[in-house]
Amino acid sequence: MVVFNRTAAHNLDVSIPLARTGLDPLISDIGYLSKVVAGGEAMVSSGFERIKRGFDVFFAGAALLFLSPLILLATAFIRLESAGSVFYKQERIGLNRRSSDRRGNSAPGFNGTDRRNRNDRRKNIHAGKPFHIYKLRTMSLDAEKAGPTLSSKNDPRITRVGHLLRRTRIDEIPQFINVIRGDMSIVGPRPERSFFINQVRQEVPEFPLRLKVKPGITGLAQVEDGYTETVEQMTGKLYYDLKYISRLSLPQEIRILFKTISVVITGKGAC
pTM for the whole structure = 0.77
Residue 14 domain-assigned (yes or no): no
Residue 159 domain-assigned (yes or no): yes
Residue 69 domain-assigned (yes or no): yes
Predicted confidence (pLDDT) per residue in 7-63, tens digit? 333 333 433 344 444 445 555 688 888 888 887 755 667 889 999 999 999 999 999
Domain, as residue range, for 207: 27-266
Residue 123 domain-assigned (yes or no): yes
How many domains does one find in the chain?
A: 1
Residue 82 domain-assigned (yes or no): yes
The DSSP result for the chain, as a single string, is -PPP-HHHHTS--TTS-TT-----SSHHHHHHHHHHHHTTTT---HHHHHHHHHHHHHHHHHHHHHHHHHHHHHHHHHHHH-SS-SEEEEEEE----HHHHTSGGGSTTSSS---S-GGGS-SS---SPEEEEEEE--B-TTTTTTS-----TT-TTB-HHHHHHHHHTGGGTTHHHHHHHTS-EEESPPPB-HHHHHHHHTT-TTGGGGGGS--EEE-HHHHHH----SHHHHHHHHHHHHHHHHT--HHHHHHHHHHHHHHHHHTTT--
Residue 214 has pLDDT above 50, yes or no: yes
Residue 121 domain-assigned (yes or no): yes
Amino acid 6: pLDDT: 38
Amino acid 2: pLDDT: 38
Predicted confidence (pLDDT) per residue in 111-150, tens digit? 444 434 444 444 454 568 999 999 999 998 888 777 777 7
Residue 17 domain-assigned (yes or no): no
